[in-house]
């Protein structure tokens, strides 16, 4: 049975972003702060603010779906 995207612990997502996609800790911290003011999926916020490419966004969603 596949996990729902929302069921992935944030810590695992943050590890994936840093280790697999080399997203800087500063960029992640910024998005976490923005997420407090404008809640939404972290991958979408990273993309909306130009911190990841569309290809990286797809990689994140593929990872989350697996």
Pair 6, 65: CB distance under 8 Å:
no
- Look at residue 7 in the predicted model and tell me its pLDDT: 60
**Tokens standing for residue 61:** 């969603």
9-61 per-position pLDDT tens digit? 889 999 999 999 999 999 999 999 988 988 888 999 999 999 999 999 999 99
Q: What ranges do the domains of the chain cover? A: 12-65
Is the pTM above the cut of 0.85?
no
pLDDT for residue 3 is more than 60: no
If you search the block for the tokens 């911190």, which residue do you land on? 51
Pair 45, 32: CB distance under 8 Å:
no
Degrees, nearest 5: CA angle 10-46-52: 115
Q: Considering only CA atoms, give the Rg of the chain.
A: 11
């Amino acid at each position: 049975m596949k996990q729902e995207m929302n069921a992935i612990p944030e810590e695992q997502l943050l590890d994936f972003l840093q280790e697999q996609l080399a997203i800087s800790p500063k960029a992640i911290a910024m998005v976490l702060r923005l997420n407090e003011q404008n809640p939404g999926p972290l991958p979408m916020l990273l993309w909306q603010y130009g911190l990841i490419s569309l290809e990286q966004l797809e990689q994140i969603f593929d990872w989350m779906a697996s």
